Amino acid sequence: VFWEARAHNNLAINAQMQGDFLFADSLYQLALIDFKNLNDSVWISNLYNNLGLLASDRGRFEKAIIYFIKDLEINQSLNDSLGISNALNKIGNEYIQLAEHIKAKEYFLESLKFSKNNTSNEDYPFLMMNLSHCEYHLGNMESGDKLLKSADSVLQISQDPLGLSELYSSKAYRHFLNMDFLEAIDYLEKSLFYKRLMKDKRGIARVQLSIAKSYVELNAYPEALALIDSTLLTSYFIGAVDLELDAIMVQVEIRAKLGQNLKRAILYKRYIKITDSLHQVQRVEAVVNAENDYELQKKINEIELLEGNDKLQAIKIRRNRSLALALIFLIIVVTIYSIVIQNRRKVIV
């Protein structure tokens, strides 16, 4: 069961990288059930982390937070400081996606407390970048710059492609806030290079959309629309509804600025339709998740009942053995006592 569960997890990771999110989710859930049956806390924690990352990739940020909180609770029970730090960091990152920067900052600062050795923690530069993003958004530019510099110093040594791609995106965000849009585009292009290197489809779409937003600020609408079309295509195929909706709203903004009100109305209608469909999907998912949780709990109860019956049977066997041994011991004592009494009588005679 253990190796089958690990195989499901590895297949899910591969499916997630290919953008097949639904298949990945099914495989992760299968692995999670197996590891719960095995009562393997470390792997259960890993699965909740993976499910959280998958939910985030699909734009289900609230759902991702739920999974990361479960991961956090297990790491707290294991007293794993690094695991606690990483889980808190991921929760904070989801709150950034929900534009709740004050709440996100609270989680990042809490994460920092549990990070024992900054250089050994792979998530440390990401934590610094996340904190810098919050500081920039809250208007604390100087503090944000210091945090970003700290992340930069670590990543220039490690040369981690994912870290560098996020670093350049963070630098682009800083320039975007300063309305240095050409400089922002330059950094985003560098980020895009690493996203393509990693074949990160969602990452590519996200960075392309950011470049498009910068072009909109420069009134370069044809360039922006070309990038948005690419973003929409990728978002549709990988099921990243949040990016798709964001891209449509940028299109709505462009069409409004160009005075193309009919196209604007059509796009907005499409936005409403996708939003309604998303709510329906979420309602269905909630029912399915509730049914899955019920079935899982039912299986766990059955296993616990069987284990209880096994323990009861073992107790009965041990008790019967004890009674048998006591009886044999009693017989031996009685026999020895009888022999002693007989010998005494012979002596008396």
Tokens of 33: 């059930």
pLDDT at 332: 67
pLDDT surpassing 60 at residue 334 = no
Its pTM stands at 0.70
Q: If you average pLDDT over residues 269-295, what whole number do you get?
A: 64
pLDDT at 349: 36
Q: Is 252 or 242 the better-scoring residue by pLDDT?
A: 252
pLDDT surpassing 50 at residue 340 = no
pLDDT, tens digit (0-9, with 9 covering 90-100), for 4-23: 888 999 999 888 877 788 88
Tokens of 265: 């109305």
pLDDT, tens digit (0-9, with 9 covering 90-100), for 22-56: 888 989 999 999 999 889 999 999 999 999 999 99
Cβ atoms 27, 15 nearer than 8 A: yes
pLDDT surpassing 60 at residue 294 = no
